[in-house]
Structure 1
Amino acid sequence: MLAFRGNDHLRIANHLPYLPWQFLVVSVAGGIATVGGVLDWRYHRNPLNLKIPKKERDAEAAALGLGGVPMFALMWLAMMHPRPTMWLIPILVVLIYTVVAISYDEFVFHIKRCGKLENTYHRMLVFGNGVAWLAWFHFIFC
């Protein structure tokens, strides 16, 4: 936070609360998503639980590698740029791809075999990330 204190785009204050409310939402929702992801990963590390098929691993890797990682980079660039709206179209294109990829993974693989506990982990991960992204998007563009 100290490294970016002089950046006007971040609106870092000298008093509490130091950061805009959107950063609190990103922290809480992102924390929930992280916990859900870790719990899902641990669930699949147990040899008694179902192993993930290669097609599903590939679908999840595509969603993260071609959706999540570029989205993070685009959002960071928009947040730091003096005219963030120039990043809006690329962000929306990557958003659409990411939503389609996550939906494909959920509706093709997970809906058939996941129990209540694993679905809870997936919902924590998907909705936590969605809410965090919406708060970050609001911070940048509103």
Structure 2
Amino acid sequence: MLLTRAPLREYLSLVLLFLPAGLFAVLLATFRHDPRLGVSAAFPYLPGQFVLLALAGTVATAGGVLDWRYHRNPLNMKIPKKEREAEAAALGLGGLPMFGLMWGATLSAQPTRYLLPIIVVLIYTVAAICYDEFVFHRKRCGALENTYHRMLVFGNGIAWGSWFHYIYCS
């Protein structure tokens, strides 16, 4: 597949795509001895919710990378600037604050203090994703690109739900 050279700003969404997974791994390794994380020295090393989070997050990240690469092929449609900005807003203004709030709730003795901010950021993030999907993707995307979007959206949704379950239902 031929790829074009993208300006540095076009890599922002790709960097933001990998940031939560990398941060989660670093923080999990850093705080592995904290009993609130449930990390064990014996198999299974992680709680089931974290395993599901990792699997669903991998699917989401793969979908995001495939979609990003799809748009770098000169034979496929280029992403307009407004769409790139909408995607960066969903990832950067929704995904990153959500990650911080979820991590804070995970390590908190009172995670319910984080519940309202998590719900507010969740609403913003869902609205930003819906805006991107309905304004930019609804009619123009083919089956392959829609598959990538579904991998990204549903993978992230399942990963988030799994983490939320760990925090509030375990």
TM range (shorter): over 0.9
Q: State the alpha-carbon separation in 2 of the partners of residues 34 and 10 from structure 1.
A: 23
1:105 paired residue among 132, 138, 142: 132
Partner of 2:89: 62
- What amino acid does structure 1 have at the position aligned with 2:133? E
- Partner of 2:46, secondary structure, is coil
Partner of 2:152: 125
What's the CA shift string for 1:81-125, capped at 9, x where partnerless? 111110000000000000011011101110121000000000000
The two structures have a TM-score, normalised by structure 2, of 0.80
- Cα shift at 1:15: 1.6
- What are structure 2's unaligned runs of at least 5 residues? 1-27
- What amino acid does structure 2 have at the position aligned with 1:22? Q
- Cα shift at 1:6: 2.4
What's the CA shift string for 1:29-62, capped at 9, x where partnerless? 0000011011001101101110111111111111
- What amino acid does structure 2 have at the position aligned with 1:115? G
Q: State the alpha-carbon separation in 1 of the partners of residues 111 and 53 from structure 2.
A: 19
- What amino acid does structure 1 have at the position aligned with 2:123? I
- What are structure 1's unaligned runs of at least 5 residues? none
- What amino acid does structure 1 have at the position aligned with 2:139? K
Q: Which moved more, 1:24-33 or 1:9-18?
A: 9-18
1:22 and 2:49 aligned: yes
Partner of 2:40: 13
The two structures have a TM-score, normalised by structure 1, of 0.96
Q: State the alpha-carbon separation in 2 of the partners of residues 76 and 140 from structure 1.
A: 9
- Partner of 2:39, secondary structure, is coil
- What amino acid does structure 2 have at the position aligned with 1:88? L
Partner of 1:93: 120
C-alpha RMSD over aligned residues: 1.1
Identify which of structures 1 and 2 has the higher relative contact order when contacts are C-alpha pairs closer than 8 Å and 6+ apart: 1
- What amino acid does structure 2 have at the position aligned with 1:19? L
Partner of 2:73: 46
1:35 and 2:35 aligned: no
- What amino acid does structure 2 have at the position aligned with 1:37? G
Between the two proteins, what is the percent identity of the paired residues? 68
1:72 and 2:76 aligned: no
